[in-house]
Amino acid sequence: MKKLFSILAIVGLVTINAAGLLAQDAAATDTAQETAAMADSAAADSTGAAADSAAVDSAEAAATESSQEAPKEEAQAEENLTFHQVLKEKFIEGGPSFMGIVLLTLILGLAISIERIIYLNLATPNAKKLLAEIEDALKSGGVEKAKEVCRNTRGPVASIFYQALERHDEGIEMVEKSVESYGSVQLGLLERNVSWISLFIALAPMLGFMGTVIGMIGAFDSIEAAGDISPSLVAGGIKVALLTTVFGLIVAVILQIFYNYIISKVDSISNTMEDASISLVDMLVKYESNNKK
């Protein structure tokens, strides 16, 4: 239940941050549009005044100069935009339908990934230190003191060691079976919810491709309704369609990086558990042989 609450909290925080960024972009877009409208009206007034007071040739020259400067200013403004700003602008242009679904996929995948990374980092054992403490405990206080060391240590290795020490009286074979069975349980806990990340990795590009297909269908519907193939008629639909594919692939790439890191972390902890379990069994065999003497 605590893990569920932590995942929901992470999803909420990421959603709030994304909504704030989108709201800031919408406000900035509205402000830019208002500024452009005011500039256009001011330019129109100044052009009218110049036309009344100056000759026709000077007015045409001024209009030609302003028309040449306008594309330069727009190009310079586009160059000044950062990659992050361009990404958010294109996301808004993609439309709220499929872009919202792709964003939700990213948020859920990141929430699970962050929760797993935190859990795995906390579960990463210091096996050498734990084995040294257990060896000292066996020499000074026997199995009971070694079990107390395991109870006071957090992590999957300590849990496996505790279960092995619990069955120490039943023989080494039972200890080995206990280590093997409880190690599988701990491995399952490490891999919990990882399959959901792989699901989101597969869903994100599929949703993007679906948005592309729907956008292309809308573009052909526009051509059919107009009875004419005009670039301006289908450009908007095709642009939205391609943007959904791009963002679906971006989400899949981001989640794939997190997924590979989590899998490598799980493999590292699993190898550590196996090596430490073998060392514990050898330590118990040595302890039994010393007690028999």
Provide the pLDDT for residue 29.
Answer: 46
- Contact between residue 120 and residue 193 where contact means Cβ atoms under 8 Å apart: no
Are 212 and 78 found together in one domain? no
Provide the pLDDT for residue 234.
Answer: 66
**Backbone Cα Rg of the chain:** 32
Are 233 and 124 found together in one domain? yes
Are 138 and 259 found together in one domain? yes
Are 284 and 222 found together in one domain? yes
Residue identified by tokens 């599929």 is 206
Tell me the two tokens of residue 247: 């963002």
Domain boundary among 83, 118, 133: 83
Distance between CA 143 and CA 170 in Å, rounded? 13
Distance between CA 89 and CA 81 in Å, rounded? 10
Are 179 and 281 found together in one domain? yes
Q: How far is CA 166 from CA 110, 153, 178, 287, in A?
A: 39, 16, 9, 15
Q: How many structural domains compose the chain?
A: 2
Are 140 and 248 found together in one domain? yes
Are 54 and 132 found together in one domain? no
- Contact between residue 248 and residue 211 where contact means Cβ atoms under 8 Å apart: yes
Q: Enumerate helices (H) and strands (E) in the chain, giving the number of each.
A: 9, 0
Residue 88 lies in a domain: no
For 68-92, write each residue's pLDDT tens digit.
554 455 545 445 667 567 666 666 6
Residue 173 lies in a domain: yes
Are 111 and 73 found together in one domain? no
Are 77 and 110 found together in one domain? no
Distance between CA 254 and CA 217 in Å, rounded? 29
Tell me the two tokens of residue 133: 């403490």
Provide the pLDDT for residue 116.
Answer: 93
Task: Tell me which residue range forms the domain holding 75.
Answer: 1-83
Regions of the chain short of the pLDDT cut 50? 1-2, 4-5, 9, 11-14, 16, 18-29, 31-32, 35-36, 39, 41-63, 66-67, 70-71, 75, 77-78
Are 180 and 222 found together in one domain? yes
From the number of C-beta atoms within 10 Å of its C-beta (0-12, 13-18, 19+), residue 152 rates as exposed
Are 109 and 253 found together in one domain? yes
Distance between CA 218 and CA 241 in Å, rounded? 9
Provide the pLDDT for residue 262.
Answer: 95
Other Cβ atoms within 10 Å of 129 Cβ, number: 10
Domain boundary among 55, 83, 111: 83
Per-residue burial over 177-208, b if 16 or more Cβ lie within 10 Å, else e, is ebbeebbeebeeebeeebebbeebbebbbebb
Maximal CA-CA distance, the chain = 118
Are 29 and 125 found together in one domain? no
What's the whole-model pTM score? 0.67
Provide the pLDDT for residue 47.
Answer: 42
142: left (phi over 0), alpha (psi -120 to 50) or beta: left
